[in-house]
């Protein structure tokens, strides 16, 4: 994973690592399994509106396929080569809920701990985070992630733009963390925050700034990418816009 590649470079065991994920789970068995567990949206008559994170009418996630891969490189090594640095990876947190095979705890303790670990690893304050790419799957867990963000960031949570790019890509499962890391890096690089589309009727329990419908220009210096997987495995990455 991207976090492990980060650790190898930090330890001096590598100068350059390629990391990310790819998944192609839209198969009869893959769809049947998630449908049987009631995890998928059944909004088949409006497929483009089926993935609707944080919306009160969400009814499950939409399977997607794709890949997201980044090249991680020790900073001075990259500068000596004269390559473009899109962002710096400055913090990583990983843990396990040890709660349930598919559902996070209602208070989001695992997500809270994971985001806190990433902030501690980066050595930055909560007030320095300017954008959060949420896990936001278009399931009931969206409200739990919202609660966790509010626990970590307190009063500042309402001022941090948050979005779920799964509203546009669907859930890429093992590739979700990779592609959402890329979204976070490009948001910093281009100064444009991706939106949460299909957020027509916000869930009252999801009351943060989710960048509804349209991308938003913003000069953000630090972005947090959340990935909270099945089995309670959580990972958070913190990216920083490189100094000019």
**Quick check: 29 pLDDT over 90?**
yes
Question: For residue 99, what pLDDT is reported?
Answer: 86
Per residue in 60-91, pLDDT (tens digit) is 999 999 999 999 999 999 999 999 999 999 99
As given in the structure block, the two tokens for residue 197 are 């589309």
Contact 140, 43 (CB under 8 A): no
Domain boundaries, the chain: 2-240
Looking at residue 106, the DSSP 8-state letter turns out to be T
State the alpha helices, DSSP H only, in the chain. Answer: 2-10, 28-36, 75-81, 109-122, 141-153, 166-169, 176-190
Distances, alpha carbon 223 to alpha carbons 31, 50, 101, 140, in Å: 32, 27, 28, 24
CATH H-level superfamily of 2-240: Thiolase/Chalcone synthase (3.40.47.10)
Q: How far apart are CA 110 and CA 234, in angstroms?
A: 7
Closest CA to 236 of 91, 63, 48: 91
Q: How far apart are CA 13 and CA 7, in angstroms?
A: 9
Contact 212, 131 (CB under 8 A): no
Per residue in 154-174, pLDDT (tens digit) is 999 999 999 999 999 999 999
Question: For residue 235, what pLDDT is reported?
Answer: 98
Per residue in 87-104, pLDDT (tens digit) is 999 999 999 988 887 778
Question: For residue 231, what pLDDT is reported?
Answer: 81
Share of the chain above pLDDT 70, in %: 100
Question: For residue 59, what pLDDT is reported?
Answer: 97
Which H or E element spans position 238? strand 233-240
Question: For residue 103, what pLDDT is reported?
Answer: 79
Q: How far apart are CA 30 and CA 174, in angstroms?
A: 13
Contact 212, 195 (CB under 8 A): yes
Q: What is the pTM of this model?
A: 0.96
């Amino acid at each position: 994973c991207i976090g492990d590649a980060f650790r190898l470079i930090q330890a001096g065991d590598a100068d350059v690592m390629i990391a990310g994920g790819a998944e192609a789970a839209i198969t009869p068995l893959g769809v049947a399994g998630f449908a049987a567990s009631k995890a998928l949206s059944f909004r088949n008559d409006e497929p483009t509106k089926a993935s609707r994170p944080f919306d009160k009418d969400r009814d499950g996630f939409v399977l997607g396929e794709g890949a997201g891969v980044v090249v991680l490189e020790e900073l001075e090594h990259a500068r000596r080569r004269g390559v473009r640095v899109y962002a710096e990876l400055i913090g990583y947190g990983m843990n396990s809920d040890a709660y349930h095979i598919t559902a996070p705890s209602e208070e989001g303790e695992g997500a809270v701990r994971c985001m806190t670990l990433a902030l501690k690893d980066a050595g930055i304050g909560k007030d320095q985070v300017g954008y959060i790419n949420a896990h936001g799957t278009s399931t009931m867990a969206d409200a739990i992630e919202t609660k966790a963000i509010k626990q970590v960031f307190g009063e500042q949570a309402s001022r941090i733009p948050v979005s779920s790019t799964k509203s546009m890509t669907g859930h890429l499962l093992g590739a979700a963390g990779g592609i959402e890391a890329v979204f976070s890096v490009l948001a910093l690089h281009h100064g444009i925050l991706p939106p949460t589309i299909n957020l027509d009727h916000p869930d009252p329990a999801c009351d943060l700034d989710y960048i509804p419908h349209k991308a938003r220009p913003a000069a953000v210096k630090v972005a947090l990418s959340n990935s909270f997987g099945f089995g309670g495995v959580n990972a958070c990455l913190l990216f920083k816009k490189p100094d000019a």
